[in-house]
Amino acid sequence: MATRTTNGRGKRYDSVLETIGDTPTIRVNNLAPDGVELYVKAEAFNPGASVKDRLAISIIEAAERDGRLKPGQTVVEATSGNTGIGLAMVCAQKGYPLVITMVETFSIERRRLMRMLGAKVVLTPKAEKGFGMYRKAVELAEANGWFLASQFETEANADIHEATTAREIVADFEGSRLDYVVTGYGTGGTVSGIGRVLRRERPETKIILSEPANAAIVSSGTPQERNDAHQPAASHPAFEPHPIQGWTPDFIPHVLQEAIDGGYYDELIPVSGPDGIKCARDLAAKEGIFTGVSGGSTFAVSLEIARKAEPGTVILCMLPDTGERYLSTPLFEGIEEGMNDEEKAISASTPGYQLG
């Protein structure tokens, strides 16, 4: 008889959207320094495999409630991929057409996933960076009367993380230490949402923010130019292209500005793309935890903190997504489709069933 059994969740779901949230907090056993408890919150367990599922459902349902989104109206948004995938899932279930604008350099898997979910994907030139895809979405919305999701400005972004992500963290660590929470920022929704709650209910917990070392736009101290609608008016001068997809567009989102102005984070630690890639690979190979470059980068910062921490320290690292949407990126460089020499040698060690 199997020693491991399951009993089901004791409920049936009316749609895939009801499965968003309640992602697991998982202990890291093989990579964590001795004496330190290091956990990851694995957002890949959302149905669309990223933290952005939370944002997607929040944006659409908030707009439905206040009448900004009409039945059958087309939704349009600029995204590096995960928000687009989340929106495509939500719009598919609810029956809204979706158009995504995305810089041509983002991974091919993301485009194909969104198209598989029924979305149209409009690519923008890499020379125009994230600001270009953003302005294209605004143009399309204004020209066609479409609903602009506005993930970088909408209150629905941080609100959903305050109502779900933060509540899950508080519940998972109830009655125990939680010394650090480490996260990247992207749109800023995660850090602003959890910051509201942890500053109030767990003020002893330090929130660590991270950004790419070569695109350190927040730590530059240079303010973001915005228009009256809180939209970015220009690309941030401190931005440079970086390999951490989903992190740090070439502007400071309005949603993130709340965390900056409110002092929701205690320290901002930069991380390099190669360090993020290495840590994502280590998590997969040594912990069986599959995450993308953004998750690997957050984990790299978490390890840096863990190595300096006193015994008994408890750290939670946010992992935004799965590694499967990075197959065509540097994360998988050197991971071959065919057998390598060691694998060929294993095959040759017995006589049968060998490839010619």
The structure tokens listed for 340 are 């390598």
Average pLDDT over residues 293-318: 97
Q: Encode pLDDT of 335-346 as tens digits.
A: 999 999 999 999
Where are the chain's structural domains?
16-47+162-332, 52-148
CA-to-CA separations, 353 to 344, 346, 349, 356, in angstroms, rounded: 12, 12, 11, 9
Single pTM value for the model: 0.94
Q: How confident is the model at residue 1 (pLDDT cuts 50, 70, 90)?
A: low
Does domain 52-148 fall into CATH 3.40.50.1100?
yes
- 294 as an active site residue: the answer is yes
**209 alpha-carbon distance from chain centroid:** 13
**CATH topology classification for 16-47+162-332:** Rossmann fold (3.40.50)
Q: Encode pLDDT of 132-191 as tens digits.
A: 999 999 999 999 999 999 999 999 999 999 999 999 999 999 999 999 999 999 899 999
Q: Which of 107, 294, 297, 302 is catalytic?
A: 294
The structure tokens listed for 158 are 């941080």
Q: Which of 41, 50, 52, 210 is catalytic?
A: 52
**278 alpha-carbon distance from chain centroid:** 18
Equal fold, 16-47+162-332 vs 52-148:
yes
- 52 as an active site residue: the answer is yes
Q: Encode pLDDT of 315-328 as tens digits.
A: 999 999 999 999 99
- Asked whether the beta carbons of 41 and 317 are under 8 A apart, the reply is yes
The Cα–Cα gap between 224 and 320 comes to: 25
